[in-house]
Structure 1
Amino acid sequence: MKTQSEVAAVQQGPALNGKVVALLAGLSAISVLSTNIILPAFAQIGQELGVTARELGLTLSSFFITFALAQLLVGPLADRFGRRPLVLGGLALFVVGTLVAGLAGSFDVLIAGRVIQALGACAAAVLARAIARDLFEGETLARALSLTMIATATAPGFSPLLGSLLSNTLGWRTIFIMVGIAALIIALSYARGLGETLPVQRRVALPAAQVLGAYGGLLGNPAFILPAAAMSLLMSGLFASFGASPAILMDGMGLSSLQTGLYFAATVFVVFAAGLAAPRLAGRFGSRTVTASGLATALLAGCLLWLGPRDPGLGWYSLSMVIFLWGMGLANPLGTALTLSPFGKQAGLASALLGFLTMTAAAFTTWLGSVLEFAPVVTLGAIQATACLIALLLFGLNRRCVEP
């Protein structure tokens, strides 16, 4: 429970409006933007740098692994020094990594740039959730995360289309220029429009041993680890679909890079609709019930892909993706709010650990999708179905732990 002074601090903060949502979405989306926007340019990058499509998968897994590990440092640093220096410093480092990747003359330098990008982007993404937790609580927090997710969905939805247009007209290096400009705009907007959300009196300075102990306490707390693991597994299924999409849509179904970009753009509207529906459904049926139904829906989508035709057409694949995105759009914002709400005094640590779990799971599923020798559609369906089944079981255990 928050003290009266903490509640007053929240009440004096900005209201949940479009400006706040846009800032939170920008901070949260920059990492996904920098990943998805390069997918249509894989063929062009591989040809220029002399690497195969499988090797280019390292641009995803290296980003995810670095992102996951760096978050464990960002959380306690933000709880000690505040959100503002970490956000602005992280975005500055992200721009440096973007320049390194955009000017890369070899595959090793490109990977180095992606690692630097991940180090910077993780601060923005982790602290977007922590900032939301600083400002809001309860149903307002769930609504803030839902609206943020709706806006953030624009990044994975429209960025491949933008990446395709840029790479086909100006070359793949201009993609990194565009991403760097986006990061600068977000940094400027944050500095002017929101700034510090963690008052000095609420900051916590923990020695390294206590930080490790705090992380251990969260990992051992069923109220955190069960919903956190469930949401991480759910999101790993989404990232697995990002990694598999070039092989499925371009190699398997013959879509051009532009058509692939348009396909991703069309899926945005599913996430929009689910994000709008989630808080309304939660108000009527309860957040836990809606989250569980979203996980079950995403599980159904994975089963359709896994157990369906071995050589599905675009229609069958799209049906599965629509169902998965709907389930994910319902479950993720509500489940994230349920995960973070009990830990207001550890918002940075809890958000960082949640991000670590999510990106670790994403790194594993994208790697798994690239090494398994089965058809890409079958592999993706099996990954999504397995991840969502385990997520649903874990979330069910959490529900029994918190209910009398």
Structure 2
Amino acid sequence: MSALSKPAASERRLSGGILFLLAGLAALGALATNIILPAFPRIGASLGVSSQELGLSLSSFFVAFAFGQLLAGTLSDGFGRKWLVLGGLAVFAAGSVLCAFADTLSFLIVGRVIQALGACAASVLSRAIARDLFDGDALARALALTMIAAAAAPGFSPLLGTALDALFGWRITFVVVAAFGAVLALHYARRIGETHPTGRRTSLAASAVASAYGRLAVDPRFLLPALSVSLVIGGLYTFFAAAPAVLMSGLGLTAFELGLSFATTVLIVFAAGFLAPRLADRWGQRTVGMIGLFIALAGSLFMFAFAAAPTFMAFTIAIALYLLGMGLINPLGTAIALHPFGRQAGLASALLGFLQMGCAAIGASFASVLPLQPSASLAVILTAGSALALLVFVPVAMRQPEAEVQA
């Protein structure tokens, strides 16, 4: 669209229409997961499986999400964003409908994998489209505001899932997320359109793609900030996966109370999202990213201190600190990782998404197999992940910003 290409990327403003698209695409995976968490007991009873077995529907989603992004990002750099966005949303809607009709755990897992393959395209392209349209500090602001808006869907979706489950049964939740995917597709087709012009597209030859991924994977300008963000985001998804066991089984919350707990986390993410670009304007993206990682580590250590005998208040304070730190490092670390690679925004975003979902899959798997109570397992994973993220980000904080790679 010519209207979107006229202003310089560093000067373009984030309109409501673009924000809705970016936030919706970014939130789709978390929305599809969080909306069903309060219904886990009923889903398990309906399918005749335990909650632990039902956890396979989460880990399989994360694995498919991780690997699917590598293909989606590559194809979008070669063919453009439009058909990957629309195709991904169509696949997501189809997978959601399959989940709604699932009568066995295997059927549900197949539907969740198809959901993930569609949602991963949406997620990776939300970052790629943001990089197409914005640059520098404008990109950091766009990602921060996108994160704020995107947090509303996964934050409030457990409440919506609880209400839908109580009124109509758990299957209707999958129909609702399918409808949301259709709305996003319609909005994109009518209001946004292609953002990756032909002149910026890259070769899709297998050797060229493999070489490009290989260069990115060893380029510290990308790898270090991307890995830092991924470790923290992986901890967030591990929290999502562990929340029913920790809060419902461990601390006795009802499904409605679990939904309220998730909804309050939105306020923390909102605050962090508003703070991140303002603090970055004053102290720089790298400095504020380091502060965010220190805060996330503080929250993890606080949870670890109370892991043996957790209380709802202590757990809430720990998660609030972790989310505040995550809300600072996520948009800023992502902007730092993507900024030098404008011509390969789809591929870089795909590899970033792969790292994030890979960390999520590892974290969720460890949370289910560690011989500890759920709250202790979560505390160990968050502490280890945030400490490693901080260590990895130190060289990034010490490095000066660099220009975009043009070839």
TM-score by length of 1: 0.96
**Whole-angstrom CA distance in 2 between matches of 1:294 and 1:401:** 17
Structure 1 residues 9 and 285: CA distance shift in structure 2, 3 A: closer
Select 2:105's aligned residue among 97, 104, 107. 107
Structure 1 residues 14 and 51: CA distance shift in structure 2, 3 A: same
Q: Which runs of 4+ in 1 moved over 4 A?
A: 6-14, 401-404
Q: Given residue 260 of structure 1, which amino acid in structure 2 is its aligned partner?
A: L
Which residue does the alignment assign to 2:271? Answer: 273
**Unpaired segments of 5 or more residues in structure 1?**
1-5
Which residue does the alignment assign to 1:211? Answer: 209
2:292 equivalent to 1:294: yes
The structural deviation recorded for 1:193 is 1.1
SS at structure 1 position matched to 2:309: coil
Structure 1 residues 114 and 309: CA distance shift in structure 2, 3 A: closer
Which residue does the alignment assign to 1:63? Answer: 61
Q: Given residue 396 of structure 2, which amino acid in structure 1 is its aligned partner?
A: N
CA contact (8 A) 1:223 1:402 kept: no
**Whole-angstrom CA distance in 1 between matches of 2:88 and 2:7:** 26
Q: Given residue 382 of structure 1, which amino acid in structure 2 is its aligned partner?
A: V
Q: Given residue 372 of structure 2, which amino acid in structure 1 is its aligned partner?
A: F
Select 2:313's aligned residue among 308, 312, 315. 315
1:3-402 matched pairs, under 5 angstroms: 10=8, 15-308=13-306, 310-402=308-400
The structural deviation recorded for 1:265 is 0.6
Q: Deviations over 1:97-150 (max 9, x none)?
A: 011111011110100000000111111100000000000000000000000000
**Whole-angstrom CA distance in 2 between matches of 1:154 and 1:301:** 22
**Unpaired segments of 5 or more residues in structure 2?**
403-407
**Whole-angstrom CA distance in 2 between matches of 1:39 and 1:312:** 21
The structural deviation recorded for 1:400 is 3.5
**Whole-angstrom CA distance in 1 between matches of 2:5 and 2:94:** 38
TM-score by length of 2: 0.95
The structural deviation recorded for 1:200 is 1.2
CA contact (8 A) 2:131 2:339 kept: yes
The structural deviation recorded for 1:15 is 3.1
CA contact (8 A) 2:11 2:138 kept: no
CA RMSD of aligned residues (A): 1.6
Q: Given residue 226 of structure 1, which amino acid in structure 2 is its aligned partner?
A: L
Q: How many residues align?
A: 399
Q: Given residue 26 of structure 1, which amino acid in structure 2 is its aligned partner?
A: G
Q: Deviations over 1:257-296 (max 9, x none)?
A: 0111011111110100110011000011111000011011
The percentage of counterpart residues that share the same residue type is: 51
Structure 1 residues 309 and 45: CA distance shift in structure 2, 3 A: closer
